[in-house]
Chain A
């Protein structure tokens, strides 16, 4: 075990080196460029056995990943924002063919207007493609989640592609102290890749990706939905096992000082770190504030979230992305729907925040908690969907 100073991108590239996948097909895009750039250096230096396919676009990158995975290879790639969008035609094909591709995704705003900084709109846009989506709070989690993504994706009950995400620049480019595992420990942990179907297996020839019309498409979609149901138990198992082996446990969600909390903030990714600092401060003043971190957004841990929020009076649901037209952001619509049948349930406010990398400061979180305290005390909601931190005209 080594303690190193690494950025989120370096942490993900390091995990990829230790995983030593058979094939990586990738195209660079800010802020994820470094993930595959550093990895390509490992390839050039002969530190991995990977076949690196330098393609001409992300559409080709994901297509090459699908081809390689269909041939029976362990496959990884990395991308962000517009790159993820360009992949999006191929993303659900990886799901349908049940190819356990692992994607290191760095969350970045979608064009337009063009922007390179963090929000979650790219990852949220592909949330219904049957990929497992894991959000990281910091560089350590970026490393740990990349390793676990291999175990999750390749589990025989699942065989679903998985994306481990970080927040653009906030995690991807900030250097933190992280603990990495020894190379041989990772090798033993991820194990030998187990092929189920291979189009190159002449002893068991198969047809893959044939036309699937009115008579069978629906059944295949059902099988995908069922695999996603199993995903929860697999992710929980893998997270617990990771903790047993290496001392850092993971779950679908994580509560911080939530057990006796009256007011809570629900967030994904790097904002959770900021919230923890404010919660510590509020606790010292006797305010019962807590955090609910959503680590896994797909599959959506509805029951777990309902249970975690059952005793909370008021909660701020933080959406670092916007639907522009739905009843709030993607996280809010899911959580509010999950709580529909719950009794009692907290009063929910949606804060759409941080779009295009707009900073979310300690003071911002203090303001949000102050508003939640008011709602909890009065029992009355204010504005349910708020665009937090945008300059409003008079």
Chain B
């Protein structure tokens, strides 16, 4: 979507194209970062289905492939829901900038 549109360029009636949330990089908000450990992952998709930001990435074979850090807000639900015995396949770390 074009940036800084003037009022004449806006879509009718406060509408936007669908799916613009993708352009909004909510990863900036993160104070904790989930780390995915491939060797521990059992591909149960608990993290994938529970993630509120659709930030669990899948590869072309529909296997878990990592975290979309551009959009992950670091809520930690994935780490909490991971059913693997400790240490889990997703763990949380403090975000450092």
Contact = CB atoms under 8 A, between A and B. Distances in A.
B12 A159 contact: yes
A324 interface: no
A107 to B, nearest CB: 28
Contact of A207 (B5, B10, B12, B16): B16
Interface residues of A, number: 22
Contact of A196 (B5, B13, B20): B13
B18 A220 contact: no
Contacts of A197: 11-13, 15
Contacts of B6: 219
B16 A206 contact: yes
Given A205-B18, A206-B18, A207-B18, A222 B13 contact: no
B21 to A, nearest CB: 8
A206 B15 contact: yes
Interface stretch (A16-24, A96-104, A230-238, A308-316): A96-104
A207 B17 CA distance: 6
Contact of A210 (B7, B8, B16): B16
Nearest to A222: B7
B19 interface: yes
Contacts of A281: none
Interface of B is mostly: mixed
Contacts of A222: 7
Interface in A2-43: none
B14 A97 contact: yes
Name, among A97, A159, A196, A206, the residue most crowded by chain B CB atoms within 10 Å (CB to CB).
Answer: A206
Contacts of B12: 98, 159, 196-197
Interface string A196-212: 11000000011111101
Interface of A is mostly: loop
Contacts of B16: 206-208, 210
A205 B13 CA distance: 14
A210 to B, nearest CB: 6
Interface in B1-53: 4-8, 10-20
Contact-size category for B: 10 to 19
Given A196-B12, A197-B12, A220 B17 contact: no
A126 B79 CA distance: 50
Contact of A226 (B4, B7, B18): B7
Contacts of A216: 5, 10
Nearest to A156: B12
A226 B6 CA distance: 13
A210 B11 CA distance: 13
A212 B7 CA distance: 13
A44 interface: no
B11 to A, nearest CB: 8
A220 B15 contact: no
Contacts of A218: 7
A223 interface: yes
B7 A97 contact: no
Contact of A212 (B13, B14, B18): B14
Nearest to A208: B15
A219 B18 contact: no
Contact of B14 (A98, A205, A226): A98
A342 B15 CA distance: 41
A219 B5 contact: yes
A98 B17 CA distance: 16
Contacts of A205: 17-19
A97 B12 CA distance: 8
Contacts of A215: 4
A206 to B, nearest CB: 5
Given A197-B11, A208-B16, 14 more contacts: A97-B13, A98-B13, A98-B14, A99-B13, A196-B12, A197-B13, A208-B13, A208-B15, A210-B16, A212-B14, A218-B7, A219-B5, A223-B7, A223-B8
14 contacts: A96-B14, A97-B13, A196-B13, A197-B12, A205-B18, A206-B15, A206-B16, A207-B15, A207-B19, A208-B13, A212-B14, A219-B10, A220-B10, A220-B14
Q: Which 9 A-B pairs have the closest CB atoms?
A: A98-B13, A205-B18, A219-B7, A222-B7, A207-B16, A206-B15, A197-B15, A96-B14, A97-B13
